[in-house]
Structure 1
Amino acid sequence: MEIREANETELQLLRMQQQVKDIAREKHKEVIGIEQTAGEEWVIVSKKEEGSTLQFMINDCTSPYRGSWDFALQVEYKDSHHLFIGDIKGEPCRGFGSICMEYLKETAWSNNCKITGDLAKRDWGHLDRLTHFYKKHSFSVFVDETEKAGQVYWTGM
């Protein structure tokens, strides 16, 4: 069993090395970190900034890089001190959202920004999970059950 785990880890590290090179070559992308999830999965964190749009992306190292991300957190600068979460895309419950959220909060903190976002009707099928996620990351969450809408807010405090 230990040999198999060592081989899997070695394979992930080799993929990671190649993926870092591949991602770094892409226009507007910057590799900003290498993290390990709670499930001990190695991932590469990259950032893409274009105009007022900022995207934090995760690529896992369990499979070869094919030019697209495995998870993304998309935000927009509303002004120089306000980041708005536009979308969270990817498979839930793998720890990727938490990793991206920490990088987003670090960016907001260093740029003296607040972070806000909306909860929309499309979120209602997973509202409990989404609410838990935001609260876990120190966001205030306001939900209007009647309108099936809501807001999230982080000030960095």
Structure 2
Amino acid sequence: MNSIFLEQEETRSKDELKQELDSLEIQMFRMKENINKIAKYAEVISIDQTKENDWVVIYAYKEGSTCQLMLHNCARPYRGKWNSAIQAEFKGDGNLHIADIKGEENQGYGSILIKHLKDVARDDNFQYITGDIVKRDFDHVERLKHFYSKHNFDVKIDHEEQYGEIIWNDL
């Protein structure tokens, strides 16, 4: 009886492995196709993996004092739309200011984008990344506080005024 159980377990593992390899192969093919499409109009700055091991392409538009980092999941073909994005503005005082973060929640996309935004700040010699938490954010302010704290931002929240500030200092 034990040998039958072990055979079933081994077969299932091989099937799972084949499915995982098939998924990876499809993602790699799509990544190549997606990068080719994205690179026609944006700067591809990196590839990365989500917490679920999906491959993503991170790309940027930089125009004047603004920067937008976008992320596309390679599990899907690129059709001109990103899955998540951070909009930021270069300030003259060594500060990159986050204007907005948009996109799908609870996928790890925001964490990946924050990591790459820090790289952009370093590459462009900006010591600080700042941002505001405004009244419209207060329905999820605790989630924002956790997110930014996890990424080494100082977070100050005024619950009475429904306002907050975030600061990351690259010391």
| Structure-1-length-normalised TM-score | 0.94
1:96 aligns with 2:94: no
Q: Which residue does 1:53 correspond to in 2?
A: 66
Which structure carries more helix by proportion?
A: 2
**2:23 counterpart (1, 5, 8):** 8
Q: Is the 8 A contact 1:41 1:60 kept in 2?
A: yes
From 128, 132, 135, the equivalent of 1:118 is 132
Figure out how many residues of one structure are paired with residues of the other and give that number: 155
Give the match for residue 21 of structure 1.
36
The 3-state SS of whatever aligns with 1:62 is coil
RMSD between aligned residues: 1.1
Structure 2 unaligned residues grouped into runs of 5+: 1-15
Counterpart residue number, 1:154: 168
Alpha-carbon separation, structure 2, partners of 1:127 and 1:2: 40
- Could you tell me which amino acid in structure 1 is paired with residue 159 of structure 2? E
Per-residue CA deviation, residues 49-97 of structure 1 (Å, 9 max, x unaligned), is 0111101110001111111111001100121511110000011111111
* Of 108-117 and 44-53, the range deviating more from structure 2: 108-117
Q: Tell me whether 1:145 sits opposite 2:152 in the alignment.
A: no
> Any idea what SS the aligned residue of 1:109 has?
helix
Rg larger in structure: 2
Answer yes or no: is the 8 Å Cα contact 1:80–1:113 preserved in 2.
Answer: no
Cα gap change, 1:78 to 1:112, in 2 (>3 Å): closer
| Gap regions ≥5 residues in structure 1 | none
Match in the other structure for 1:42: 55
